[in-house]
A and B are shown apart, each in its own frame.
Chain A
Amino acid sequence: MASELLTSSDYIKHHLQNLTCGMQDGSFHCAHSVEEAKAMGFWAINVDTLSVSFVLGVVFLLFFRLVAKSATQGVPTGAQNFAEWIVEFIDNSVRGSFTGRSALVAPLALTIFIWIFLMNLMDLIPIDYIPFIAEQMGVSHFKVVPTTDPNATIGMAIGVFFLVIFYSIKIKGLGGFIGELTLQPFGKFGMPFNIFLEVVNLIAKPISLALRLFGNMYAGEMIFILIALLPFYVQWTLSLPWAIFHILIVTLQAFIFMTLTIVYLDMAHQEHH
C-alpha cells in the first residue's frame, strides 16, 4: 500500500494495534497510537477483542441452545445434524484422551473448540474490511481476530490452568498435589530440584497453550497484512493460497488447544504420571 499519507510500516502498525480503551487523565477514551495504549498501563481493555469474542461466544451458545431446544429423536436434519456431528466429534476426542470421569470436560472441550474456531475464523475475513467499516463509524482501530491478541489466549489458558490446579487438588488432595510437586522425580532428597522441575512443568502448560495459539494466529494475520502491501491485482496469487491453508490452521489450532486442555485435565485427574 503505497501512499504519501501512510507508509507501509504505519499500515502494519495500524493493523496490529488493538482498540485499547482505558482511563487516562481522568477520562475514559481510546488510544490512537501504540504509545498512547502503552501509557494506559495494565488497567485498559481491548474493546475489539472483548466485543468480538463476546459476540462469537454468544453466537456459539445461541446456535447450540436453539438446536438443543428443538432437538428431535428421529433422523436429524440441517442444523441438528451439524451440531450432533460436532458434539460427536468432541465426544470421541474426549473419550480418546480423557480416562477419568468428569461432567465438565466434554462441555468444556466443546466450548473451547467452537469458540476458538470461530475467533480464528475471523482471520479469513479480508483484513481491511472490518477496520474500514470501523473507520466509517469513527473507530480508529479494530483488530477483528481475538486470538491474535495475547490477552485473549492467555486469559483462556489461565482459565484452563486454574481448572488443572483445582482438579489436581480435588482428586489428589492438597497433600497429594504438593507431594507430586516436591517428591518427583528424584525422591525426597532431591526436593529443591523436584520443585524446580515440576513448577516449570506446571507453568509451561498454560504458557504453551496461550503462546501456541497466539503465535500461529498472529503470524497468519501478519502474512495477510504483508500480502496486502502488494499491488492489488497480484494480491490474490498469495492471499488465496494462504487463506485456503488457513482453513487448516484455524481448525487445527482450535483442535490443538482443545486436545491439550483435555490432556492436561486428564493428567490432573491421574494419581501418578
Chain B
Amino acid sequence: MNINATLLGQTIMFAMFVWFCMKFVWPPIIAALDARKKQIADGLAAGERGKHDLELAAKHSTELLREAKEKAVDIIALGDKRASEIIEEAKVQAQVESARILATAKTEIDQEVFRAKEQLRTQVTSIALAGASKILRREIDLKAHNDLLEKLLKEI
C-alpha cells in the first residue's frame, strides 16, 4: 500500500463531515438532551413547590386549629362567667323575694293579732258588762251607765 492524495481526499471529506455533524447532527441531539433536562428540572421544581404548598397548608391548618381552640376556651369561660352571674342574680332575687314574703306575712300576722285583740276586747267588754249588769241589776240603770261603760271600754 502506498500513500497518495487519496488520504488528502478523505481528509477533505472528513473535515466536511465533521462540520456537517457539528452543524446539523449535534444541535438536535443537544436540544433533545436540554429539553429532557428542562423537563426533569421542571418536574422536580413542581414537586418541590407542591411539597412547599403542602407544608404551608399544614402550617395554616394548625394555626386555624389553634385559633379555634382558643376561641372555644374563651367561649367556655364566658359561658361559665355568665352562668355564675345568673346564679348570683337569682340568689339576690330570691333573698329579696323571701324578705318581701316575710314582710307580708308579718303584716298579715300583725293584722290578725290586732283583729283578735279587738274581738277579745269586745267580748271582754260584753262579759264584763254582763257580769256587772248581773251584779248591779237593780242598782244600776243600764241606760244611765251605758255611757260610762262605753267610756271604760274605750280606755281598755
Contacts and interface: CB of A to CB of B under 8 A. Distances in A.
Given A128-B10, A131-B1, A231-B9, A244 B40 contact: no
A203 to B, nearest CB: 38
A236 to B, nearest CB: 4
A124 B36 CA distance: 28
Nearest to A126: B10
Interface string A225-266: 000101111111001100110010000000000000000000
Contacts of A234: 9
A247 B13 contact: no
Interface string A1-17: 10101100001001000
B32 interface: yes
A228 B17 contact: no
A271 interface: no
Interface in A113-142: 124-129, 131-132, 135
Interface in B10-62: 10-14, 16-17, 20-21, 25, 32-33, 36-37, 40-41, 44
B6 A75 contact: no
A91 B44 CA distance: 21
Contacts of A74: 44
B13 A243 contact: yes
Contact of B10 (A82, A84, A129, A135): A129
Contact of A235 (B12, B25, B36, B41): B12
B17 A1 contact: no
B11 A240 contact: no
Contacts, number: 80
Contacts of B8: 232
B3 interface: yes
A53 to B, nearest CB: 23
B11 to A, nearest CB: 7
Per DSSP, are chain B's interface residues mostly helix, strand or loop, or mixed? helix
A77 B9 CA distance: 38
B13 A6 contact: no
Contacts of A129: 7, 10, 14
A235 B17 CA distance: 12
Interface residues of B, number: 26
A85 interface: yes
A235 B10 contact: yes
B152 to A, nearest CB: 128
B44 A75 contact: yes
Contacts of A76: 37, 40
A128 B37 contact: no
A55 B38 CA distance: 34
A115 B1 CA distance: 30
Nearest to B34: A81
Contact of B13 (A5, A131, A236): A236
A236 B9 contact: yes
Nearest to A238: B13
Interface in A27-81: 74-77, 81
Contacts of A239: 9-10, 13
B148 interface: no
A1 B36 contact: no
Nearest to B21: A247
A244 B11 contact: no
A128 B6 contact: yes
A135 B17 contact: no
Nearest to B42: A75
A8 B5 CA distance: 14
13 contacts: A14-B1, A75-B40, A75-B44, A77-B37, A124-B17, A127-B10, A135-B1, A228-B6, A231-B9, A235-B6, A240-B20, A243-B17, A247-B21
Given A125-B14, A231-B5, 10 more contacts: A76-B37, A76-B40, A81-B33, A85-B32, A126-B13, A132-B7, A232-B8, A232-B12, A239-B10, A240-B16
